[in-house]
Structure 1
Amino acid sequence: MRFSIARAAGVVAAVALLGTGAITTAHGATTAGATSAATTASVPALPAGKITFVDTAFGSYKPNNEWSTGLYVPKGWKDTKLSTDHHRYTGGKGHYSLRVNSWLRKPVPQPTAAKQKIAALKGTKGLKIVSLTTGQVKRTTLPTHPVHYYTTLTYTYVDAKGAKRLVMTRWVADWSGTKRLAEVELTAAGRPMDKAGLTSVLAVATQTLGRSG
């Protein structure tokens, strides 16, 4: 069965609350202000309160091998399929993005996933670990698993063009609950000036994330 989080009860109201009324879904709703389209080479900061979200789903729909992932992503962001269960959504002429790796094959405890990521980043130009935090959020899908537990690693680095980049990688426990396994990896990336908007994008993605299979 194809999974659609658009049918999940209460999801619209829950997502709207994340933006204190400014962030909404695109099902007949509008944002508190229109999202500005970047028409010049200078792309403004991603505005936390002016993002419209739409539901999306991807996965495998082959007979006897059917599963899917659904969540809300910013409207208008380009969807790039990296693999069947791994998609990237890009906006702002490539300045910011959300990457969703929805089925980590061998889930490890979230602290282990974070430790492995930090080790892999060793030698990255200008690397600075900003924070490593944990949290939980009441989800808006699959009520049999009412809470998402997560760990978030935030860091900055300098890219090949000499620009400072901000990355927030979040490992989410979907079915494992309080065991806090890293089952799904969400990564929001952009410029330091995009932090508020990226934080909102990551929050909505976490709350609306759901998998079936």
Structure 2
Amino acid sequence: MLTPRHQALLATLAGMTVGVAVFGTVLAINSATGQDSAQTVVTSPTSTPTPIASDGLQPDALQFVAETFGTEREPITAEVPAGWKSSQTGTRPRYVDPTGVWQIRFDARGSKQTPDALLEARQGSIDEPDYKVISTDNTTLVYTYTDQERGPRMGLSRWIAAGDSDRSALEITVGGRPQDQAGLRAVLERATETLQLSGESDDRPS
């Protein structure tokens, strides 16, 4: 016959056995459900937008590539900044940088008018807010104005004569912001220096 002391000892041992069993069961469940495993956090890299230099388009940051446009019979070649793309070909391509801030446009339809006459006509035809002529040297019209959506803008338009004649063969226009003037002039000069005309076109109305 068990004494009260023996009965108390057996009860204590039984409680310890049940506790160990329950603890083992909890461990087994946690292991099966993966609660002890460390969670892995996966982050997706965010794309960095193309910055637009607030101090303007820098000439020394430009690289150039040759582009061909015009017609099959009279192709024209000139260098434009690398990365600037045109959505159209033919005689009136327009190459735009990825940000949409800067552009260079060619008009190779030609004209019977002289470059000086076309410059004068363009100078008097621009109807934009805050329009101001900066200079008209070397058959190049330099002007500024304010665009309602993009703010202050600057344009440089140059007319090039056809060979030894007085007729105009080509117009080159670059556009950007007033703080881009140095870079825009570099783009215009590079296009002019590398321009290769294979013939003289005369498709533009006089």
**TM-score using structure 1 length:** 0.65
Report SS of the residue matched to 1:206: helix
Shift of 1:67: 1.6
Residue 89 of structure 1 contacts residue 99 of structure 1 at CA under 8 Å; is this kept in 2?
yes
**Structure 1: 5+ residue runs without aligned partners?**
1-36, 135-150
Structure 1 residues 39 and 200: alpha-carbon distance in aligned structure 2, compared to 1, 3 A threshold: same
More helix by share: 2
2:4 paired residue number: none
1:174 paired residue number: 162
**1:54 counterpart = 2:68:** no
Matches of residues 75-94 of structure 1 in structure 2 within 5 Å? 75-81=82-88, 84-94=90-100
Which amino acid in the other structure matches residue 121 of structure 2?
Q
1:141 paired residue number: none
Report SS of the residue matched to 1:175: coil
1: CA distance, partners of 2:167 / 2:49: 38
**1:72 counterpart = 2:79:** yes
Matches of residues 150-169 of structure 1 in structure 2 within 5 Å? 151-161=139-149, 163-169=151-157
Deviations 1:152-172 (A, max 9, x none): 000000002261100000001
2: CA distance, partners of 1:188 / 1:90: 10
**Structure 2: 5+ residue runs without aligned partners?**
1-47, 200-206
Q: How many residues align?
A: 152
2: CA distance, partners of 1:130 / 1:43: 22
Deviations 1:14-59 (A, max 9, x none): xxxxxxxxxxxxxxxxxxxxxxx96246666211112111111123
1:100 paired residue among 106, 111, 114: 106
User: What is the CA RMSD across the aligned residues, in angstroms?
Assistant: 2.1
Residue 43 of structure 1 contacts residue 92 of structure 1 at CA under 8 Å; is this kept in 2?
no
1: CA distance, partners of 2:51 / 2:81: 20
**1:117 counterpart = 2:126:** no
2: CA distance, partners of 1:59 / 1:158: 31
Matches of residues 12-51 of structure 1 in structure 2 within 5 Å? 39-40=50-51, 45-51=56-62
Report SS of the residue matched to 1:49: helix
More strand by share: 1
1: CA distance, partners of 2:61 / 2:49: 14
Which amino acid in the other structure matches residue 195 of structure 1?
Q
Which amino acid in the other structure matches residue 89 of structure 1?
Y
Shift of 1:92: 5.0
2: CA distance, partners of 1:164 / 1:115: 23
**TM-score using structure 2 length:** 0.68
Structure 1 segments of 4+ aligned residues over 6 angstroms from their partners: none
Shift of 1:80: 2.4
Which amino acid in the other structure matches residue 127 of structure 1?
Y
Residue 66 of structure 2 contacts residue 78 of structure 2 at CA under 8 Å; is this kept in 1?
yes
Residue 130 of structure 2 contacts residue 146 of structure 2 at CA under 8 Å; is this kept in 1?
yes
